[in-house]
Amino acid sequence: MKLKLILISPIILISSNGFIDWLQNHLLTCPFKKFSGLDCPGCGLQRSILALMQGDLVSSFKLYPPTLLIIVLLMFTLLHLKFDFRMGAFFIKVLYISITFVIVINYIYKIVNHQLI
């Protein structure tokens, strides 16, 4: 009987949008921000993914711009591993460099705006 309760619980959470509510209340704290008071280069990713899961593309981009590129990179990498595209490795490298560039620019932007406030 307990096995059935364990299997039903995730279905109830996902079907009633409770899963997203649960995630919003259980976000991980950033250790870097906790100890230094400054955002790390990855701060905002969790909230951005939650906004994306709710279908809010604009908020997702505002919270953490490289989120969509990271998802594209992960999906393309999985497809490349399965189908072995001819230029797949090159495309993955270009995406990786692009994501790194966006993360660095976003981090500099956050630091500059934080200093102005």
- Rounded CA separation 109/9 (Å): 42
Give the pair of three-digit tokens for residue 97.
Answer: 């460099």
Are the beta carbons of 4 and 23 closer than 8 angstroms? no
Q: Provide the pLDDT for residue 20.
A: 87
Selected residue with higher pLDDT from 57 and 8:
57
What mean pLDDT do residues 38-57 have?
94
Select the more confidently predicted residue: 84 or 117: 84
Q: How confident is the model at residue 3 (pLDDT cuts 50, 70, 90)?
A: very low
Residue indicated by tokens 């990713």: 45
pLDDT value for 117: 54
Question: What average pLDDT does range 66-71 have in this prediction?
Answer: 97
